Amino acid sequence: MTTKNFNDNFIRACRREKSDYIPIWFMRQAGRYQAEYRDVRKKYSLLEICRHPDVCAEVTLLPVAQLNVDAAILFSDITLPLGPMGINFDIVENVGPVIHNPVREAKDVDRILAFDPSQSLEYVGTTIELLKRELKVPLIGFVGAPFTLASYIIEGGPSKSYLKTKTFMYAQTEAWHKLMDILATEMANYLRYQVNKGAAAIQVFDSWVGSLSIEDYRDYVFPHMTKMFSLLKDLDVPLIHFGVVSGHLLPMMKDCRATVVGLDWRVRIDESWKLLNYEVAVQGNLDPAVLVAPENIVHKKTHQILEQIDRPGFIFNLGHGIMPQADGDTLKRIVDQVHEYQLKF
């Protein structure tokens, strides 16, 4: 971290230490909005990119060079560890992950396997090693949170209502907790592997947990999140905990003991940070739809976020991933605006 020319502003902000300027990166900063990425996708499927460390490293590096962001995120997908766990899936264009053998009954949980990432996902480790040599910014590793993964495993694919997931949760509660415990344990293990290989921070994506009430989060999810984060306590890297439509869950997310909480655009940064007692750093929260807005609107919305920041510990990001319709020049302008912003502290 002390190497000359290494930009550690992102890590400092995660630790609520002073940084030279507000650091910024974008969720899904490598993706279909880039012509170069679309070209790579003509030759390789998403999973093939992940299995070829040289291609995967190249795709990860693309936005770092193009946008001048302060962190790289490993190019991968939250579904990658499902294969070694005996859950067979494909990623279908414009749909997302589709599971061929979903969990529907209590006994289906028994066929889920523990796995050794250094064996089954060795290519991820190789990609991280390649990236470590190239990068002058920190690399973020990631996993899907147990609830979000369970929702794919049980629904069999993307869902709007999460009805199958909730039915399983309420009616097969014992099997639910068993499934969540396996996912929490295996994802902690996989995160540890990514950190051992060189990831400087990690993000846990709980993209779909906002579908739960406060009580259901407490009873069916919270114990597993706290277990997962406690398994990682000895690692000396920031842990980012991100959810979507999860403003109502913020007090409990704080108690999960991550270093950073990720916010979407439905909440204000200043109010949420106060609610979190300033005990964590925060990351967010520009609406990804703003990326298709006229230049003056983008500038205004970016400024509206920046002016809420009155202390160290903020990382600028979107409230969710970049959409394929986004404009690369707009992203670049946001990075410049954030970097040039005069800090109030």
Calculate ∠ Cα 32-34-289, nearest 5°: 65
Q: Does 3 bind ligand CP3 (CB under 6 A)?
A: no
Residue indicated by tokens 């909005």: 33
Note if 193 is an active site residue: no
| CA–CA separation, 2 and 255 (whole Å) | 31
Stretch that binds ligand CP3, among 3-11, 80-88, 94-102, 215-223 (CB under 6 A): 94-102
b/e string for 93-115 if b means 16 or more Cβ within 10 A?
eeeebbbeebbeebebbeebeeb
Torsion of CA 62, 68, 71, 76, to 10 degrees: -20
- Nearest-approach distance from CB 245 to ligand CP3, in angstroms: 11
What values do phi and psi take at 268, rounded to 5?
-85, 145
Helix ranges (DSSP H) in 268-327: 269-275, 295-306
Q: Does 77 bind ligand CP3 (CB under 6 A)?
A: yes
Report, in angstroms and rounded to the nearest whole number, the Rg of the chain calculated over CA atoms: 19
Task: Name the active-site residue from 8, 12, 16, 28.
Answer: 28
- Nearest-approach distance from CB 205 to ligand CP3, in angstroms: 4
- Nearest-approach distance from CB 131 to ligand CP3, in angstroms: 12
Q: Does 287 bind ligand CP3 (CB under 6 A)?
A: no
Judged by beta carbon, residue 50 or residue 182, the one nearer ligand CP3 is: 50
53, 81, 97, 138: which one contacts ligand CP3 (CB under 6 A)?
97
Task: Name the active-site residue from 152, 162, 190, 217.
Answer: 152
Note if 32 is an active site residue: yes
**Whether the Cβ atoms of residue 308 and residue 265 lie closer than 8 Å to each other:** no
- Nearest-approach distance from CB 271 to ligand CP3, in angstroms: 23
Count the residues of the shown chain that bind ligand CP3, applying the rule CB under 6 A: 23
Helix (H) or strand (E) holding 139: strand 139-144
Note if 336 is an active site residue: no
- What are the catalytic residues? 28, 32, 41, 77, 152
Binding footprint of ligand CP3 on the chain (CB under 6 A): 27-32, 41, 46, 73, 75, 77-79, 91, 93-94, 96-97, 142, 148, 205, 207, 321
